[in-house]
Structure 1
Amino acid sequence: MAILDSKGRLFGKINLLDLGAALVTLLVIFVILSTFLSSLGLAQIGEKIVPIEVDLVVRGLNVRDPEQLFNNGLKKGGKTNVIIRNQPYGGAIEIKSVQLLPRTVNVFQPDGTVKELPDPKTNNFSTDLLITLDGKAKSTESGPVLGSSKVKIGMPFELEGYNYNFNATVIDIRLKDK
């Protein structure tokens, strides 16, 4: 018995064109299923989830009354929505601390030294803040991943809440091992 007969059938039973079409169909189904499963996160078995603290600095936030901002949303123990590179984090993240930074200016002294003194402007609506966020991140070889975005020093974060929406910059990242 020949492997291929005169009609192009394998072992006299299976047409080669039908076999090729079936293999292509199985390959397409496999690609679709693997893409679907990886989007669900089921294919990411070896990832380690660790607690993360991210320090953010906000420079020159124009706000009339910072205390009202702190009382109505941006406060320790509260939650805020984070957007990293135009990608939402996927829920609210906890605010560990909010610290109002003093506005200072460098003043040269007669002996040539420089002192940092409080800014004498009293009608300035510009505020500087140091904010620490506390959440969970995936630990990868290339750094922590918060939501679906890598977190690096210098990255802009957009913080959004009930009565605020402003940008901040990452100045420190601390991963805590469980």
Structure 2
Amino acid sequence: MALLDRQGRLFGKFSILDIGAIATILIVLIGLLIVPGNGGSSIAQMLSAENKTVQVDMNVRGLSATDPQNLIKIGDKVKIIIRNQPRGEVTIKKVEISTPKIVAAKSDGTAVYFDDPRAISTSQSDLAITLEATAQITNDGAVFANEKVKVGTSIDIEGPKYIIRGSAMAVRY
């Protein structure tokens, strides 16, 4: 019995073209399930991910607002925008507002910190905001609506009266 017959069948039963098509389909399916795509997470990782409550500390430098204490309130639900794409809602858990500081050297070489008068005159504040939401936890980290959040990720929050841009300082889950 010949390996290939005159009709191009393997062992007289299987067409080489059919075997090639089946192999191509299998390779594509394996690639979709195992290899990560542009988002960095494969379908297999997303299916095995568990949902947990995640807290993200957001750092905002130089926010220009006349009354930041009454602008951002604990307990508010705000929209989160990660890498310029809307990714759902988060709750504000904690807000720390401070005036930017400058450093000056004393004559004995020690440093002294005091409020930056330029920041005070232009109503600038630095904020540390803690955000909380449910996200998927994969072996790569926290994922909000198919977007990873890691330290340094650009984050915007949008409330009824503001859009504030900052970056992630810490991610806890």
Q: How much identity, in percent, do the aligned residues show?
A: 32
Counterparts of 2:7 and 2:140 in 1: how far apart (Å)?
56
| Offset of residue 118 of structure 1 | 2.2
Q: In the TM superposition, what whole-angstrom CA distance separates every residue of 1:31-87 from its partner, at most 9, and x where no partner exists?
A: 89xx8xxxxxx974321112111001100111122234x2xxx21011111111122
Q: Match of 1:106? A: 103
Gaps of 5+ in 1: 1-5, 9-15, 36-41
Q: Match of 1:115? A: 112
Counterparts of 1:119 and 1:62 in 2: how far apart (Å)?
14
TM-score (norm 2): 0.72
Q: How many residues align?
A: 164
In the TM superposition, 1:17-166 aligns within 5 A as 44-68=46-70, 70=71, 74-89=72-87, 91-121=88-118, 122-166=120-164
| Offset of residue 151 of structure 1 | 0.9
Does the CA contact (< 8 Å) of 2:89 and 2:133 recur in 1? no
Gaps of 5+ in 2: 1-5, 9-14, 33-42
Counterparts of 2:7 and 2:74 in 1: how far apart (Å)?
78
Counterparts of 1:102 and 1:82 in 2: how far apart (Å)?
25
Matched AA of 1:113? T
Counterparts of 1:133 and 1:7 in 2: how far apart (Å)?
66
> Would you identify which runs of 4 or more consecutive aligned residues in structure 1 move more than 2 Å?
42-45, 118-122
Q: Match of 1:12? A: none
Does the CA contact (< 8 Å) of 1:56 and 1:170 recur in 2? yes
| Offset of residue 7 of structure 1 | 9.8
Counterparts of 1:77 and 1:137 in 2: how far apart (Å)?
18
Q: Match of 2:165? A: 167
